[in-house]
Structure 1
Amino acid sequence: MKIDYNKLFLPLGLISVVMLKETHAIPFESIKASLGKIETGYGADNTTFTANRPKYHLQGPVNWMNDPSAPWHDGEYYHIYYQHNPYSAEWGNMTWGHAVSKDMIQWIDKPLAIYPDQPFDIEGAFDGTILENGYQNKTTMLYTGVSHVPLGWRLPYTVGAEKQVLAYTEDNGDSWVKVGPVITAPPKGLNVTGFRDPYLFRSSKLDTLLNIKDPNSIYTTVSSGIQQDGPRLWLYQSNDWENWNFHGPMIAAPENFTRNLEYSSRLGYNFETASYVEMPTTSTKDEWTLVTLGVEGGRLIHDLHSAVWTLGRSFELLSPDGKEVQRLTPGLNQEMTGMLDWGNYYAAVSWKDPKNPDRVLLTGWIPEDIVPVTVNGVTNENNRNSQGWAGMFGLNRELEVIEIKNVSVSDPLVAIENASWVATTPDQDSKTVTVSTLAIRPMEEYKSLRKDCSLWSLKNHHSTASAIRKHKRNRVSIPGVSTRYAEIVAEFEFHEQSAPFGLSILESSEGQRHEETLIVYDPKQSKIDIDRSRSSLSRSPGYPNSTETGPLPLFKIGSKNGKVEIETLKLRVFIDNTVVEVYANDRFALSSRVYPTLSKSAGISVLVTKDVGVKQLDIYQNIDVKAFDRP
């Protein structure tokens, strides 16, 4: 069905496509007014609309948003686009939302950038990426245009349903001229599970491997899979943007394969939203290549979705086989694989910061975790449509290959194969090794959120029996702290046999009507939990109360005097109303959604035992920086 864009916002009775067209002329002025009207119309003063909304996370003004797409920098502003449904807070009508920022902290709404208004994308304009100095020397995009639905890795695939579409901008990314599909179908003869989300890049490394001499050489990956065979990441190459050569799979795996299930996800049945980045060599002499993957079918939670990374230092050149490999193809030799986030996080795109090419950033999507459930004809309260919006981006993250030095050779972790780390360098004394892994940490700019915050600090605290108040777990209450917008920085010292310890956040006073969310590290099982069993008093069906969990093995570090000690646990926790992001030891992330119902659910406590020391605890409470200046 063709979409009538003259009625784009008429369900709200607010603005028409005419106003959106006018915003192209003065985007920073008129679009703010337009989106302000949209938000006010939905009820900015309505508690249903505002109750669960975050403050400093990037999200659309109203309705549904999901995958981030096409981050780039125009010389003054960072741009980010996102999948958006202009009509509803449920998925559908995929249109490109757009926002810009000078610092990636505070953002400005821009006009909707791409509409599904052509035969090749009438069912949705899906993810894509941008390169500057591209087609006709313009800023250029490839995105997936969808002309047939439904799509799904468990469904029969309709050839031609997904096409990779070429487009360019002449107004700094506000609107895009669609040249048309340039990759019109999956590789011939293959029964695929999907064929979408092109990721554009240039690579002198691949040019050399493939003996390509043309200085205009460009590449794109396309995320895919083969029915009853497994997921695939296809590689294409072009010298002119319009004619693309199919090579073969950069990454191929059997169905639901895993390198190490304990420290990563299975690779499922279909890839989505893949990214390719040749990592800077600032922190390691090795030349690592990073591929991030959206995996479908790899785990049983969060709609069977997981966000995976894999790293390798070399490629195996695959020769044409008349089937999957049509031309010489560099297949990545994967040496370590892990999770970008163990929780509610998906569709992440990794990209080099154009202002600092030595920095690699990651932008991903955190969905809602409430779902409409109807019981006896009644739909649960506060479902996505009734609150008028759904989804946000997680905080931007910095990715880096780091080296952990002086890891004891006696540490059993060193001998584990196919994990999310690899022992790369034996140290001189032969009693220790250097371990490489992928660092995942919040973007440095988020420290600016601490400005004007109230700071509560504790250092070098060891609990005593008189200091601990029993409440299921031992805990130390923190007086004077009440916040639903905070950053917590904590470091704990402990023994391998210590009982679980951590933090309680978003907690109310004790009693029958008690809410709390627990962030707990278990040394014996080497894992971090976000325990949501008491996060919300709501018993409406569709609300989450399961525990989010992920492994964090800590290494045994040797010293010059021969003593071996386990790493301390270093946490950074971001609380933004109903979203919680937990980072640990610069190599672990776990995101979750929680939905407290009590206004007083804003307290914080420390969960400790006598053999656990709080080396540092800083609570920056009442963050007042907003991602958008909206009504």
Structure 2
Amino acid sequence: MSIPTNDDEHSHPHTVERWRPGFHVIPKSGRLDNPCALGYHAASGLYIVGFRWCPKGWNWENISWGVAQSADLIDWDVSKEPSLQPSAVEDTCGISTGCMVDMNVDGISGGTITCFYTSAQILPIHYILPYQGGSELLHMATSEDGGKTWQRSSSNPVLFGPPSNVSVTGWRDPYVFHWDSMDQLLRRCPKRNLYAIIAGGIRDRSPTIFLYSVDIKDLSRWTYMTTLILPGRNFTLTPLWGDFGLNWEVTSILTLKNEAGQSFEIVIAGVEGCRMFSQGDQDSRMFGRRLQSRPLRTGRAQKWFSGRLHLAHDGRPKLQMRFSGHLDYGTFYAANSLFDPLLGERVVYGWILEDDLPDELKQMQGWSGFLSLPRTLKMTSVQNITQSCVALLTQRPGFGYERCQSGLFTVTTLWQGPDHRVRKLREVEVTFECLPVIVYSAADRVLLRVLRPPQPAAHMEVWASFSLGPCTTAAGLRLYHNPDLSLYTIIHFDAESHEVIIDRANSCNALRGIKTEPEIAPHVLLETFDCSTQTVTQEPLVFHIYFDVSSLEVFINNRVAISTRIYPQSGLCFGVQPFVILSKTGYSTQLDDLKLWTLRKSGLQKSS
């Protein structure tokens, strides 16, 4: 097989393992995409993370499920064989995404778990194609071994398709859950009811969520309730950063709380059919550099929104969108989550795509995609935000606002960060000396010294914090990928456009065909006003970065996340270099903290 290359030395050797991550959940071979059937199995004390899996190759064929089990979300037992796969008579065109509950079909908790999934009967299925009745069925299965193997229910199909009175663009990816807020709205006894949603859309009208009630004493009995929300085609609250598309998939509903215990209904949805823009569009001047952001160039986005539950005039429950954001601005998609009963936390996983690698290289390496790091989600509210800061926030997704009598604002948004257990991967810590470092300069880039791991690292965590002065143009980090520091990835905050940019253009130069467009996300540093001192304080800029051979997951102030892929020939990081750009003399910016940790690989045992 011929691979276009500028460097024959790196064209073929170790292609299978060259870019394979070390501490992410990934099967030995094949295509991994959507996380499925996530949960905690109380009988065994294990976390279960399933995934949709095509075990025979990097592309779509024999669409099955795989599973990984763990006691700590860090070291995993990943099965070598599918846990559920198509047969000649059942799920003939593949097993799509689904969920699990820690109970048997009679609603009794014990050793048995039950899953629900979309059974594909006809392919292709796509929101732009006419929907074929019977192409997607709702199936159910049970497992006695924590999801390693599933036994299909004799009651299948649980549902034969979407409601008959609507023309849909899609109807798939069931999610079953207790919903205390819905119980309260409908005046039902809490914890004695189950609800389910199936994602999709109504053709020529809107993406939507189909809401069902599930008999908790017979999980095969589903009753359709309503379409929970109909925002409209390509609806958006913040047009400069993408819309809610035409069809939803892998959608879940979570009730999250802020520091004060206030509850928020949060919907997480994979969005298809977002409006795409190119340089030739009449709106391109308005969108400017945002045209390069991944949602606007791919038409797909990982979104969330906060909604208000209420009863419509006909007595049916509805969800009104209040404010919304992106769960991730990069290659992270099909987010699915579990509630951790041991810690009382919501943990989310996503699919890290392989879209930037050409098909020829995917075929050569024999695998494609893996699961993200586990992330913890909650809501956070910040008080005493200035009006000038809110003016910037209103142009960007992710925030709800409440004006106070003082004229200041309380803003609320989604908090997300790596699960604290990920720290167990840390090995050697290296800290930047003589902190803080105060940078004075004119309008040019100031590169500080390179912070290096003891040895070039394939797996690394980086933490950096900057206090930005009033004339700071940009601040960020370079991650170097070769000994002479000529290959690097730049992660920086542009203080003028209020954007975080990951510049991948110089991260790999040997293999042509790899996409290296920048990843771009909006980000505003919050400013608070202290009434007692009459002073305004801007929060520090914080980067939290995880590098894993070819994967970058970047968290900025625990509000913005960007996942992306880079493909350095070495698969290593040789060091991290902070930099600052100031626009005027006489001003300064401060590097408050910079440290890195080399990380170990996860224990990814392969069970039979």
TM class by smaller structure: 0.7 to 0.9
The equivalent residue for 1:242 is: 220
The equivalent residue for 1:340 is: 327
Q: CA deviation at 1:562?
A: 0.8
Query: Helix, strand or coil for the counterpart of 2:50?
Result: strand
Q: CA deviation at 1:539?
A: 4.6
* 1:125-147 per-position Cα deviation (integer Å, ceiling 9, x unaligned): 11111112241234211111001
Q: Does 1:493 align with 2:467?
A: yes
The equivalent residue for 1:567 is: 539
Amino acid at match of 1:268: G
Query: Helix, strand or coil for the counterpart of 2:122?
Result: coil
Q: CA deviation at 1:242?
A: 2.3
The equivalent residue for 1:100 is: 69
Q: 2:309 aligns with which of 300, 307, 315?
A: 315
Amino acid at match of 1:71: L
Q: CA deviation at 1:496?
A: 4.6
The equivalent residue for 1:254 is: 232
2:554 and 2:181 map into 1 onto residues whose CA distance is: 35
2:329 and 2:190 map into 1 onto residues whose CA distance is: 41
Q: How is 1:88-487 mapped onto 2 (pairs within 5 angstroms)? A: 88-110=57-79, 111-117=81-87, 119-136=89-106, 137=108, 138-179=112-153, 180-212=156-188, 216-239=192-215, 240-262=218-240, 264-279=241-256, 281=257, 283-298=259-274, 300=276, 301=294, 303-312=298-307, 314-320=308-314, 328-357=315-344, 359-372=345-358, 380=360, 383-413=361-391, 416=394, 419-424=397-402, 426=404, 430-450=406-426, 452-458=427-433, 459-464=435-440, 473-478=445-450, 480-481=452-453, 482-487=456-461
TM-score normalised by the chain length of structure 1? 0.83
Amino acid at match of 1:365: W
Identify unmatched segments of 5+ residues in structure 1: 1-44, 321-327, 374-379
Q: From the superposition, tell whether residues 575 and 613 of structure 1 become closer, same or farther in structure 2 (CA, over 3 Å).
A: same
Q: From the superposition, tell whether residues 225 and 395 of structure 1 become closer, same or farther in structure 2 (CA, over 3 Å).
A: same
Aligned residues: 557
Is the contact made by 1:495 and 1:523 (CA closer than 8 Å) also made in structure 2?
no
Identify unmatched segments of 5+ residues in structure 2: 1-11, 277-293, 583-587
Q: CA deviation at 1:274?
A: 0.2
The equivalent residue for 2:495 is: 523
Is the contact made by 1:88 and 1:385 (CA closer than 8 Å) also made in structure 2?
yes
Query: Helix, strand or coil for the counterpart of 2:181?
Result: helix
Is the contact made by 1:463 and 1:609 (CA closer than 8 Å) also made in structure 2?
no
Q: CA deviation at 1:416?
A: 2.5
**RMSD of Structure 2 on Structure 1 (CA):** 2.5
Is the contact made by 2:375 and 2:419 (CA closer than 8 Å) also made in structure 1?
yes
Query: Helix, strand or coil for the counterpart of 2:364?
Result: helix
2:525 and 2:593 map into 1 onto residues whose CA distance is: 18
Is the contact made by 1:455 and 1:618 (CA closer than 8 Å) also made in structure 2?
yes
**Greater displacement, 406-415 / 133-142:** 406-415
Is the contact made by 2:234 and 2:275 (CA closer than 8 Å) also made in structure 1?
no
**Greater displacement, 115-124 / 96-105:** 115-124
Q: CA deviation at 1:114?
A: 0.9
TM-score normalised by the chain length of structure 2? 0.86
Amino acid at match of 1:290: I
Amino acid at match of 2:165: G
Is the contact made by 1:370 and 1:384 (CA closer than 8 Å) also made in structure 2?
no
Query: Helix, strand or coil for the counterpart of 2:164?
Result: coil
Q: Does 1:538 align with 2:510?
A: yes
* 1:16-65 per-position Cα deviation (integer Å, ceiling 9, x unaligned): xxxxxxxxxxxxxxxxxxxxxxxxxxxxx961111001111111111110
Q: CA deviation at 1:305?
A: 1.9
The equivalent residue for 1:591 is: 563
Q: 2:521 aligns with which of 527, 530, 550?
A: 550
Q: From the superposition, tell whether residues 215 and 260 of structure 1 become closer, same or farther in structure 2 (CA, over 3 Å).
A: closer
Amino acid at match of 1:389: W
Q: CA deviation at 1:624?
A: 1.7
Amino acid at match of 1:103: D
Amino acid at match of 1:144: T
Q: CA deviation at 1:575?
A: 0.6
Q: From the superposition, tell whether residues 627 and 434 of structure 1 become closer, same or farther in structure 2 (CA, over 3 Å).
A: farther
1:434 and 1:214 map into 2 onto residues whose CA distance is: 31
Q: CA deviation at 1:91?
A: 2.6
Is the contact made by 1:120 and 1:181 (CA closer than 8 Å) also made in structure 2?
no
Query: Helix, strand or coil for the counterpart of 2:266?
Result: strand
Query: Helix, strand or coil for the counterpart of 2:65?
Result: strand
2:159 and 2:321 map into 1 onto residues whose CA distance is: 27
Q: CA deviation at 1:73?
A: 1.4
Q: From the superposition, tell whether residues 410 and 517 of structure 1 become closer, same or farther in structure 2 (CA, over 3 Å).
A: closer
Amino acid at match of 1:307: Q
More RCO (CA 8 Å, sep 6+): 2
Is the contact made by 1:406 and 1:433 (CA closer than 8 Å) also made in structure 2?
yes
Is the contact made by 2:459 and 2:572 (CA closer than 8 Å) also made in structure 1?
no
Q: From the superposition, tell whether residues 289 and 412 of structure 1 become closer, same or farther in structure 2 (CA, over 3 Å).
A: closer
**Greater displacement, 166-175 / 574-583:** 166-175
Amino acid at match of 1:295: V
2:312 and 2:89 map into 1 onto residues whose CA distance is: 36
